[in-house]
Structure 1
């Protein structure tokens, strides 16, 4: 009713989902390296041992708009 004063009350539409790839379809080499490092780790803290490959995977995913 008072759209001319406060703007439209309708929410803005999100960009179409088909424009953004699925998370399973991107960063495959980085994901494989991360998984392999974690699975083959001989320490009690594989997260610490594999932090570089985990960081690489996160950077790649963020490049596609995903937060890991």
Structure 2
């Protein structure tokens, strides 16, 4: 039996994790949701900025 070690290439792993990007936008979104509720019109523009930021890193929300 062949017991070769398979190494992971850098290409197999994502460059960044979703939790590690757009931290400022996420904090603003979370604060708005807590204070005004997720359905608030004020939060929708903040949510849009967060989604746009995440999309810039290749994450689809």
TM tier relative to shorter chain: 0.7 to 0.9
Asked if residue 63 in structure 1 is aligned to residue 56 in structure 2, the reply is yes
Structure 2 counterpart SS, 1:33? helix
Q: List runs of 5+ in structure 2 lacking aligned partners.
A: 1-10
Which stretches in structure 1 are left out of the alignment for 5+ residues?
A: 1-14
Cα contact 2:32–2:38 (8 A) shared by 1: no
2:42 to 40, 49, 56: 49
Correspondence 1:1-68 to 2 at 5 A: 15-17=11-13, 19-41=14-36, 45-46=39-40, 48-68=41-61
Could you list the structure 1 runs, at least 4 aligned residues long, displaced by more than 6 angstroms after superposition.
none
RMSD: 1.9
Give the TM-score taking structure 2 as reference length: 0.73
Instruction: Say which one has the larger Rg.
Output: 1
CA distance in 2, matches of 1:55, 1:63: 12
> Using the alignment, how far apart are the partners of 1:28 and 1:45 within structure 2?
21
